[in-house]
Copies of this chain bind each other. A is one copy, B any other.
Amino acid sequence: MAATYEALQEHGYADLTIKQIGESFPKSTSLIYHHYEGKDELLRDFLGYLLEHFETSVPKDEYPDARAHLEALLAHLLADELPPERESFTAAMVELRGQAASDPDYREHFDRSTAYFHDRLVQIITDGQAEGVFRDDVDPASVAALLLATIDGTRFQRVTTEDAVDVGQVRAELEAYVETRLVEETG
């Protein structure tokens, strides 16, 4: 998986060959062929690996309340600058996700991953409503859908443009949305 990651970074998806993956692989290339029929099958496995890695990398610590949890999540996912490793990780995932537009097997992977993150956001919002920090009269599923579309959009934009996107602006405005639409007024 690490060899695939390296080769994908260096060569991009469209030009990637098993031979190139083999060059980053400490063992014999024939071992790759022993496990995988070809590039497509290997990349599908690799995608599962990427998505799992992404799901576990998102903060899950204990927070004082749901609002702090949501803020930590947005700060992590919409950081101004990504460390180089996360930057190229995001690029690899976006490039593979682009393939899903013409490949139903890939779409299945992203279906599962999108539903996972949507569920997690719904849970945070529902927790916040139970805690009294978020308003009761918003629909958790719709709020989660907007948040996830914005997060996915920013991840998509940041690795497919040079400098047309200011992630800090998106995050600041999304925080203002959370404040005006979601946070229960106190006092």
Contact = CB atoms under 8 A, between A and B. Distances in A.
Contacts of A8: 102
Nearest to A114: B164
A145 B173 contact: yes
Given A142-B169, A145-B165, A98 B177 contact: no
B102 A12 contact: yes
A123 interface: no
B98 A99 contact: yes
A29 interface: no
Given A98-B98, A145-B173, 11 more contacts: A12-B102, A92-B101, A97-B156, A101-B160, A112-B164, A142-B173, A146-B169, A149-B153, A149-B165, A151-B153, A180-B181
Interface of A: 8-9, 11-14, 91-92, 94-104, 106-108, 110-112, 114-115, 118, 138-139, 141-143, 145-146, 148-154, 156-157, 159-166, 169-170, 172-174, 176-177, 180-181
